[in-house]
Amino acid sequence: MSIPVAILEDDTTIRETLSTILNNTETVSVLASFDNSEDFIVAIDDLEIEVAIIDINLPNMNGIECIFLLKKKYPSIHFLIFTVIEDDEKIFDALCAGATGYLLKNSTPQMIVQAIIDIKSGGSPMTSSIARKVVSSFSKVTELQDQFSLTTREKEILTCLEKGLRYKEIAFNLCISMDTVRSHIRNIYEKLQVQSRTDALNKYYKKA
């Protein structure tokens, strides 16, 4: 049984070519295609699709904003970015918005079809250069986080803070006293050179 997909791409030639390529396989069937996010959002309720192939640069609402809006409402749909953009920030934003995969438009037809199959099988396909950027990005974050020299316990407490736990809940979960929690948090703030929970989380997880 073929995998039902939709295409969101504002370039007519690319959209039609991609539709033709996918419909000429036994694996994938294109149920609908759109040139803007707004029309896709209106139609998605009537589309029984498993994968949406989405460009980033679109008129009005871009592809990342579209994914962010739809992913929470349609968690079973997988969103595959298909773009020329290799910018680190855009890659990160797309994955955070809920994209399952990220392909560049220089991908071969075989790579595109295989990516859809991989998504269906639970994978997260990426063009090799994009995958390297993602790995490199995580490596840099880890290196910078290590520079803060937080202890294992302090990292555990930061994880609790990220989950939104209050001091009392942290103390209960880690089987330590409230005073110990406060002491660790003071040390965390001092090492990160911040004054609040929000600043600590932003510096350690997002800005690291």
Q: What CATH number has the domain bearing residue 98?
A: 3.40.50.2300
70 & 157 share domain: no
User: How far does CA 93 lie from the centroid of its chain?
Assistant: 6
Does residue 127 come out as left (phi exceeding 0), alpha (psi in the -120 to 50 range) or beta? Answer: beta
CB contact set of 27 (below 8 Å; sequence gap of 6+): 2, 3, 113, 116, 117
What is the 8-class DSSP label of residue 122?
T
Q: What CATH number has the domain bearing residue 169?
A: 1.10.10.10
53 & 106 share domain: yes
pLDDT category at 143 given cuts 50, 70, 90 is low
Residue 120 has pLDDT above 60, yes or no: yes
Number of domains in the chain: 2
Average pLDDT over residues 143-148: 60
23 & 114 share domain: yes
Average pLDDT over residues 90-109: 89
Note the pTM of the prediction, 2 decimals.
0.65
Tens digits of residue pLDDT in 39-93: 999 999 999 999 999 999 999 999 999 999 999 899 999 999 999 988 877 888 8
Model pLDDT, residue 132: 73
Residue 38 has pLDDT above 80, yes or no: yes
What is the 8-class DSSP label of residue 2?
P
Residue 176 has pLDDT above 80, yes or no: yes
How far apart are alpha carbons 33 and 124 in whole angstroms?
22
Question: 183 lies in which domain range?
Answer: 148-206
Q: Return the ∠ at Cα 16 (arms to 11 and 17), rounded to 5°.
A: 100
How far apart are alpha carbons 168 and 148 in whole angstroms?
25
Residue 138 has pLDDT above 70, yes or no: no
